[in-house]
Structure 1
Amino acid sequence: MPVLPYFFFGTLMDPDVLTIVLGRDPGALSKAATLSGFSRVRVENEPYPALVEEAGGQVEGLLLGDYVPEDDQRIRFFEDFDFAIEQCSVVTASGPEKALYCGAVRNIKPTDIPWSYDEWTRLEKARFLKATGIYMACYGTLDGAAADELWLDTIREIFGN
């Protein structure tokens, strides 16, 4: 059975972040995609977004279709055990497609403030890259609780949250 592409709607749309997370150059993301029925909002005290259901909402993102099992494991580690990998249907230029996305399940407090990729790039990306590098350097060595603690400590130190 073919592997479903990942639908990235936040920081993983950024090729520099994705390179750190995968530990390799990801190449070009497959294609643009739109997820309906959701909006993208800031997460309280975090520099990344979450999706919340919203009738009529639409979230633009990118699909990563070319990945191997190690990439999948690294993505799941990066998502910090607070997110569940869920299936969704997105629309691309070539029509509807099934995809995977990271949906919040615990320890995440979505706000009602929209999250903007352009604003994040301008104001937070440099610090986020530093935090991501520190966090991903521990891939394969930490359990969920220790990884969560490392992320929160790193974000507080770098972002002052």
Structure 2
Amino acid sequence: MSVPVLPYFFYGTLMDPDVLGIVLGHDPGPLTTAATLSGFARVRVEREPYPALVEAPGLHVEGLLMRNYAPQDDARIRYFEDFDFTIEHCSVEIGTGPETALYCGAVRNIAPTDIPWSYADWVREEKARFLKVAEIYMTGFGRLDPEAADRLWLDTVREIYGS
């Protein structure tokens, strides 16, 4: 008997099908289930092109669920999260009620700011550069240990974003 796989709740760059395709190494298909995570805000991370979640009673974050994925997809998502995020359980609200999901939760080694992060702004202003970063970074999947992967990410962001 197989254990049901929990869906992933994506709230940042992984909501974008182009980014998700690079991360998974294949077309992810549509992410069509809208979901809301209550009690959090989506904010910019200092010197990074992606968001983090911070606890924020009374607020909520809109995102999308990815339901169908293979163990290799899960491993690639966990690699992409750069070892700075932990994969945690959460309860999101979907059209039919609450559902348990996985999300990239508690952070270490990064500094969330108090500046809101907007998906629409990111698409308009940063997506093209971020796709290059993701492509380069994912070449390290299965080859790099966490320390080397972190160096690759930081060097690539610095090179492409010029910071």
Tell me the residue number matched to 2:145.
143
The residue type equivalent to 2:68 in the other structure is: D
- Structure 1 moving runs of 4+ over 3 Å: none
Structure 1 residue runs of 5 or longer lacking an equivalent are none
Tell me the residue number matched to 2:62.
60
Tell me the residue number matched to 2:8.
6
Tell me the residue number matched to 1:86.
88
Structure 2 residue runs of 5 or longer lacking an equivalent are none
Per the TM alignment, residue 137 of structure 1 is displaced from its structure 2 partner at its CA by: 1.2
C-alpha offsets along residues 43-80 of structure 1, whole Å, 9 cap, x if unaligned?
00001000000010100000000001000000000000
Aligned residue pairs total 161
Distance change >3 Å, CA 12–CA 60, structure 1 → 2: same
The residue type equivalent to 2:28 in the other structure is: P
| TM-score after normalising by structure 2 | 0.97
Tell me the residue number matched to 1:72.
74
C-alpha offsets along residues 90-120 of structure 1, whole Å, 9 cap, x if unaligned?
0001110000000132111000000000000
| Distance in 1 (alpha carbons) for counterparts of 2:139 and 2:148 | 13
Determine if contact 1:30/1:66 at 8 Å carries over to the other structure.
no
Per the TM alignment, residue 29 of structure 1 is displaced from its structure 2 partner at its CA by: 1.1
Percent identity between the two aligned chains: 72
The DSSP-based 3-state class of the residue aligned with 2:72 is helix
